[in-house]
Amino acid sequence: MLNLILLGPPGAGKGTQAVKLKDKYNIPHISTGDIFRKNIKEGTELGKKAKEYMDKGELVPDEVVIGIAIARLREGDCGGGFLLDGFPRTVHQADELSRHFEDTGGKIDLVIDIVVGKDELVRRLSGRRVCKSCGATYHVTGMPSKVDGVCDECGGELFQRTDDTEETVSNRIEVYNQQTKPLVEYYEKKGNIVHIDGTTGLENVFSDITKSIEA
C-alpha cells in the first residue's frame, strides 16, 4: 500500500506528475479540483457552489472539500493506496484527514512538495489553454497546439479557464501561500515530507519524486 499527498502551488505541475505516478504505482489519482470541475460541467449544486469560489481564485470552503475527499477515500479502489492532489489544502483539512486515518488504521506514507517560484507560476498558468471537448492541456509558448485555438487530439476549441487569467492566478498563489503553505510546516513536524524542485523539467521532476518514494 502506498498513500501519497501531492503539494504545490497552482501551476507547479501537480496534475502532470500525478498522472505519471498513478500509472507507475497503479493507485487512484484523487484530485478535488477534477471533482469540482466535473460537477461544474454537469451543473450540480456542488458545482455551482464551487464555481463561485474558483472563479475568484479562492479556495472552496473546508466543509465542502473535506466531505468530498473523505467520501472518495472510502471507495473500494483506494484500498491498495492512493494519491491525493489538491487535498488537504489547509491545516484543518489535514487534521480531519488524520482523524479519518485514526478511524481506519491507515497513514500517509509521503508528502511530496513541488516547489516553483511565483513569476514562473504566473507565466505557466496565464498561458495555459484547455480543450473544451476532451480536456487536453496546452501552453501558448511552452506547448502550443499545431493550429492556434484548435486541439491536436480531437479538433475541439481551446479556451483559457476563468481561473487562469493573470489577475486570478496571482490571487490563487497568494491564497495558497496564506492557507496552504502552513501544511509544509505541519508535515515537516511529522517528518514525512520531501521538497522537489519543480523547475528542472518534467522527467527530472518525476525522477526526483520516484527516488524519494523508493528511498
Which residues are designated catalytic? 14, 89, 128, 161, 172
Spatial separation of the C-alpha atoms in residues 62 and 104, rounded to whole Å: 21
With a CB cutoff of 8 Å and minimum separation 6, the contacts of 150 are 156, 157, 158
Q: Please, are residues 57 and 163 in contact by the beta-carbon 8 Å criterion?
A: yes
How many residues would you count in the chain?
215
